[in-house]
Amino acid sequence: MQRKQHYPKYIDLHPVARVQGTVRLPGSKSISNRTLLLAALANGTTRILDLLASDDTLVMLMALKQLGVAWEQAEGTQAYTVHGSGGSFPVHQADLFMGNAGTAIRPLTAALAAMGGDYTLHGVARMHERPIGDLVDALNAVGTRIAYTGVAGYPPLHIQRGQLHTQRMQVRGNVSSQFLTALLMAAPLMAKHEAVTIEVVGELISKPYIEITLNLMQRFGVSVERDGWQSFTVAAGQQYQSPKTIHVEGDASSASYFLAAGAITGGPLRVEGVGSNSIQGDVRFVEALQQMGAVITMGDNWIEASSSGVLKAIDADFNHIPDAAMTIAVAALYADGPSTLRNIASWRVKETDRLSAMATELRKLGATIEEGSDYLRVTPPAQLHAATIDTYDDHRMAMCFSLASLDGAALRGTTVRINDPQCVAKTFPDYFTVFGQIAEQILL
């Protein structure tokens, strides 16, 4: 059903002088899983084109099937047809495995709690270390019944039928934007007779991901009134309606690796599937590359990166694009001085503690690293050290560190062994095959 690429226990990447060419991106994970859930909740049948083939989307597809939502995949394609449930899933009791997919467990938790039933949600060990307490607190405060079956504040969860009693909710915004996304997507299920207002307490991180949520809800016929980033209101009586056909644009976070490769080696390197018309905030990654001296050109559905010299050190706030910012941390190895990535505390509650993991692995390459609670300072080495990179079962760690094999204008790449390359299946199953094609190298 899902395309699979199987890798050995490790991959050795040898130094590469130049990368250039064109990469067709896989579909966006954030758009894919949001679209699947909205299609499942909608009235009518939705045809989804270019859905991402990955572990995380498979988790959502399997959960929806267990919940009684019918869907089919067109043979040999990533086109899916989802038959909407009209706002209420047919199956009211289920035990759902969520893997390590935050984009699946968090919105599903809110939707199932709003519907009521008897559901348990659990995942891999790391999922049980990823916080969900702010979302559960927000929901239980308005009458849902969600209980922890392990450590309080974390999955696994047990959802039972509650009784909603208020139309105003509050959620903290400083841990994960997925909590607000989950409440927004579930709000129409709770706003049958009265409007629902969601207030954000404190700073909201990763704002561009909320823009994706609002954009997709609009495409499924639900409008949200907003007061800046402080509150969001869903009027009573709105129901999701199928847009008939929806196309999943290419993944902007995945684009970052190839665009950075073009900037490091000179390029040009073009990605297709995402461009100036993108609804993903991670396209703003190119602004950071431009600050580092890269030349960026862009069309409606493509972006190209090149450069003509040593990259410049950067000191910037990456709160808005935390996933793509990881790529900057590795690109900073090729800069002309120390670079500082600020306001990235959310890295600590991702697939792994990415702040600690990035610091550890960058040091193996010879970089001098200063790790703070919410920042990382990267001082490039005089030359890169050959290294074996541990990936912590984190797809982005594996993809980021492939860049250390590239020759930059002032720093030659090194031999990099990537342990557990299979972890890229979470979002980009054939990443290393595609990377090898643009790098014109043989992977051993």
Which residues carry out catalysis?
323
Query: 3-class DSSP state for residue 311?
Result: strand
247 in Cβ contact with 49 (< 8 Å): yes
**DSSP assignment of 222-242:** ---EEETTTEEEE-TT---B-
> 83 Cβ partners below 8 Å, 6+ apart?
45, 69, 70, 71
102 known member of a binding site: yes
Task: For residue 95, give both structure tokens.
Answer: 């035990």
307 known member of a binding site: no
354 known member of a binding site: yes
350 known member of a binding site: yes
Of 388, 343, 337, 400, nearest in space to 363 by CA: 388
Q: CA-based Rg of the chain, rounded to a whole angstrom?
A: 21
The arrangement of strands across the sheet holding 21-24 comes to 21-24, 269-272, 302-306, 295-298
192 known member of a binding site: no
417 in Cβ contact with 387 (< 8 Å): yes
85 known member of a binding site: no
C-alpha to C-alpha distance for 271 and 374, rounded to whole angstroms = 30
Q: Which run of H or of E encompasses 397?
A: helix 395-401
374 known member of a binding site: no
402 known member of a binding site: no
239 known member of a binding site: no
Task: For residue 122, give both structure tokens.
Answer: 């659990």
426 known member of a binding site: yes
202 known member of a binding site: no
184 in Cβ contact with 227 (< 8 Å): no
Backbone angle region of 106, left / alpha / beta, with phi > 0 → left and psi within -120 to 50 → alpha: alpha
34 known member of a binding site: yes
364 known member of a binding site: no
57 in Cβ contact with 34 (< 8 Å): no
**Positions at the binding site for phosphoenolpyruvate:** 29, 102, 130, 178, 354, 396, 426
**Positions at the binding site for 3-phosphoshikimate:** 29-30, 34, 176-178, 206, 323, 350
**Positions at the binding site:** 29-30, 34, 102, 130, 176-178, 206, 323, 350, 354, 396, 426
